[in-house]
Structure 1
Amino acid sequence: MPGRFQARKYRFTKDADTKWLLGSNMSLGTLDVAREFRKSNSAPDLYTITWKNEVDINVRASSDQNSCEITASALLSTGLFLLTDFENCSVKLVDVTTHTVTSRIELPGEPWDVCVLPDDQAAVTLPDKSMIQLLSTQGGQLSFEKEIKVSSGCRGIAYCNNRLYVSYVYKPSIEVMTLGGHIISTFQTDDGRPLFQNPQYLTVSATTPPTIYVSDYNAHAVLQLSLDGKILREYRNEKVRNPASIVEVGLGQLLVCWKGSHTVMLLTARDGNLREILGHTDGLASPYSVSFCPHTHTIVVGMYENDSLKVFNAI
C-alpha cells in the first residue's frame, strides 16, 4: 500500500531538569531489598538470649535395641531435624513441634554425621562401612539412594556449592569431593606439618569467601581453614575439652559442642571469643550434636548414650 512504509523524521528535545540531574552528584534513588529476601549479616547475639529447656523428646523407637547415641543432627526445615543414632544404626527425622519421630530408616552400619543436600536429599557417613549413604527426604519420609565408597575412618561431612567435605580420623585429613564421589583435593598438611590430630566434625561457613571450621577432638580446638586447606586461625579455651559437633548460626557465629566439658559454646569468629550458653546445669551430659533453627530460635542437643533430645527455645 502506498505510503505504508513511508519514513518519518523525529526531533529529540532535551529536558532541562533531566539534563541537570544527570550532571549532578545526586542519586536517582535508593534500592532496598525486601525483608523476606535479605540475608542478614548479623545473627542475633545468642549469648544475650535466655534459653529455656522447652522439652526433652524421647527419640528411642520401639525397634531400637540400644540406648540412643545421637552423634549428629541437621536442620531439614522449620522444626524438622535429621538425627544419626550411632548405637541403633539408624537415621531419624524428628518434629520438635509435635515432639515425635516421624520417620526412621535402618542403615547397614553405624552412622556418624549427616548433612542436608539440595533436591530433598541428605548424606550420612558410615565409618565402619567406609561409605557415604545418600538418602531421600522427600515428603518427610526417609529412603535409600546411592552409596559413595570412601576411605576408612570417615567422620564429619558438610556440603557447599556442589561439593562434599569429609573428615577422616585414621589418616587425619579432609577430602573435597563431588556428589559422585570424585576426589577433587585432600587437606592433610600445611607447610609440611599435620593439620589435624582427630578431625571429628566440620562445617563450611557462608562468609565471603567461605571458610571451613573443623572440630579437632584430641587437639581441643576448633580450626578455621581456607578452601585450599590453609589454617587461618585456631580457637581454644582452656576450660573446655573435646569439641564435637559444630554448626553455623550466623555469619561469623557458630555453636560448638564440647563433649568432654558438657557444654555448648558460642564461637564468635571475629574476636575469637568462646562463651558458654548451655551447660551441665541445663541438663547436658556429654553432648555430641547441636543444631539450630533460625526461624524459631531453637537449639537441639543430642547426647552420648541418652534417649532424650534436648530442645531449648529462646525466651
Structure 2
Amino acid sequence: MGKKAGLMTARKLRFTKDSNTERLLGSNMGMGTLDIVGEFRREIPFPDLSTVTWKEEEYINVRSSQEKKTCWITGSALLSTGLFLLTDYNNNSVKLVDLTYRTVTSRLQLPGRSWDVCVLPGGQAAVTLPNNSMIQLMSTTGGQLSCGKKIKMSSKCCGIAYYNNILYVSFISNPRIEAITLDGHIISTFQKDDGKQLFQSPHYLTVSASSPPTLYVSGQYQIHTVHQLSLDGKALREYSDKKLEYPKSVVAVGPGQLLVCGYGSHNVMLLTEWDGKMAEILGQKDVMTNPYYVSFCPHKLAIIVGMYKGDYLKVFKAN
C-alpha cells in the first residue's frame, strides 16, 4: 500500500512459490542448527567445594606503576566471568582485574580509602569509604570504571552487600548493620536481638545464595565465629571453629556454601550450611600469610586470595 496526498492506494500482488524453499521446508533436515555461543548469565551446575582439591596456578600483580604504596586489597566482588572488582585501601582506588589475562584492566582513583565493594544491577557497583563515611556508586560499563553519585553515611561504613534493591552496610563503631535503599534511606538497623548484641566487629558481610537468603557477618574480634542473620536482622546461627582465627572476608560461593578468610590462622575455610561446619580448604601449606579477602569464580572454578598488604593475588584452581 502507498499513501499520497491523503489518499490510500492499493497494489495488486502475486505470490510465486520458490521450489528450493518448498523442498527445504518439507525436509527433515531443517534450515540448520542453533548453537548458543554466548550469554550474559546462565545457570551452571555447582560443585560441592568440600570434594574439590585446589592447586595454586598463578600470581596476579595488582600494583599499578603510578602507585607508590604497597597494595592492601581489602574487598572484592565478581563482576562477570573472570572479572573481579578489587578495593585497594592503601592506594584509595578500585581496580578491575581480568583473571584470564592476569592483569589490571581498569583503575579508578577515589576520594578516600576504599574498604569493600559489591556489584549492583545495570553495570553498577558500590564501594565503602570508611574514613569519608560514605558509599561511592560507580559504573563498570564497557569495562571502564567511573564515579557516580555518593551516599553519605552517619559514621564509618565497612562491609557492604546487595540483595533485592537493598544495600546492607556494616559499621564498626556502635556495631550494627543498616539496610538502606540506593538513595541512602535507612530501612532498618540490625544491632540487637532480644536485647542481646548481635556482634562485636562486623567488618564484612555477604548475602547467601540459599533459599531463603540470609546474611553472614564476620570480623576479626569475633575470633572463631561467623554469624548468620535473617534479612530482617534476627539471629539465626553461629558457625564456629577453632581452626578459624580472626576471620576477615566472608563470601557466598554457591547454595549452602561460603568461604571465610582466617587472618590469624592463615587459611581459608569452607562453611557449609547443611552440616553447620567449617573445614580448611587452603592453609599454611599453600603459603598463606594473613589472608584478608577471598573471592570465587564459579565459571573458572577458581579461588582468588589477597594477603595483608601485598601487591600480588594468589589464584587457586580446581585440581
Q: TM-score range by the shorter chain?
A: 0.7 to 0.9
Residue 39 of structure 1: CA displacement? 4.8
Percent identity over the alignment is 64
Q: Say whether the 8 Å CA contact 1:197–1:217 is kept in structure 2.
A: no
Deviation of 1:208 (Å): 2.0
The structure 2 residue matched to 1:193, chosen from 184, 193, 196, is: 196
Conserved? CA contact 2:71–2:310, under 8 Å: yes
Matched, 1:150 2:153: yes
Match of 1:184 among 176, 182, 187: 187
> Which of 269, 272, 275 pairs up with 2:276?
272
Query: Following the alignment from structure 1 to structure 2, what is the Cα–Cα distance between the partners of residues 131 and 222?
Result: 25
Correspondence for 1:54: 57
1:204-219 alignment, distance < 5 Å: 204-219=207-222
Structure 2 counterpart of 1:248, one-letter code: A
Question: What is the CA-CA distance between 1:69 and the residue it aligns to?
Answer: 0.6
TM norm structure 1: 0.86
Alignment of 1:161-310 (within 5 A): 161-220=164-223, 221-310=225-314
SS at match of 2:94: strand
Aligned to 2:143: 140
Of 75, 100, 118, the residue aligned with 2:121 is: 118
Residue 105 of structure 1 aligns with an amino acid whose one-letter code is L
CA deviation after TM superposition for structure 1 residue 109, in Å: 0.6
Aligned to 1:131: 134
Measured after TM superposition, the shift of residue 298 of structure 1 is 0.8
- Corresponding residue for 2:26? none
Note the alpha carbon deviations across 1:183-227, whole angstroms, 9 max, x for none: 000001111111110001001113222111111321221000011
Task: After TM superposition, give the deviation of residue 78 of structure 1 in Å.
Answer: 0.6
Q: Unmatched 5+ residue regions in structure 1?
A: 1-35
Separation in structure 2 between the aligned mates of residue 188 and residue 285 of structure 1, nearest angstrom: 32
Task: Provide the residue aligned with 1:6 in structure 2.
Answer: none
> Which of 87, 91, 95 is the aligned partner of 1:92?
95
2:62 is the alignment partner of 1:44: no
Structure 2: gaps of 5 or more residues:
1-38
Equivalent pairs counted in the alignment come to: 279
The two structures have a TM-score, normalised by structure 2, of 0.85
Deviation by residue 1:106-144 (Cα, 9 ceiling, x = unmatched): 111110000000000110000000000011000001001
Partners in 1 of 2:118 and 2:175 — Cα distance? 20
Preserved CA contact (<8 Å) 2:228 2:238? yes
How much does 1:79 deviate?
A: 0.7
Shift of 1:38: 7.8
Equivalent residues of 2:134, 2:156 under 8 A apart: no
State the distance in 1 between where 2:210 and 2:229 align: 12
Q: Which residue of 2 aligns with 1:76?
A: 79
- Residue 264 of structure 2 aligns to a residue whose secondary structure is helix
Name the SS for the 1:128 alignment partner: helix
What SS does the corresponding residue of 1:47 show, helix, strand or coil?
helix
How far off is 1:239 after superposition? 2.4
Distance 2:318 2:200 in 1: 35
| Counterpart in the other structure of 1:27 | none
RMSD: 1.4
Partners of 2:43 and 2:84 in 1: CA distance: 22
Instruction: Indicate if the aligned counterparts of 2:161 and 2:168 stay in contact, CA closer than 8 A.
Output: yes
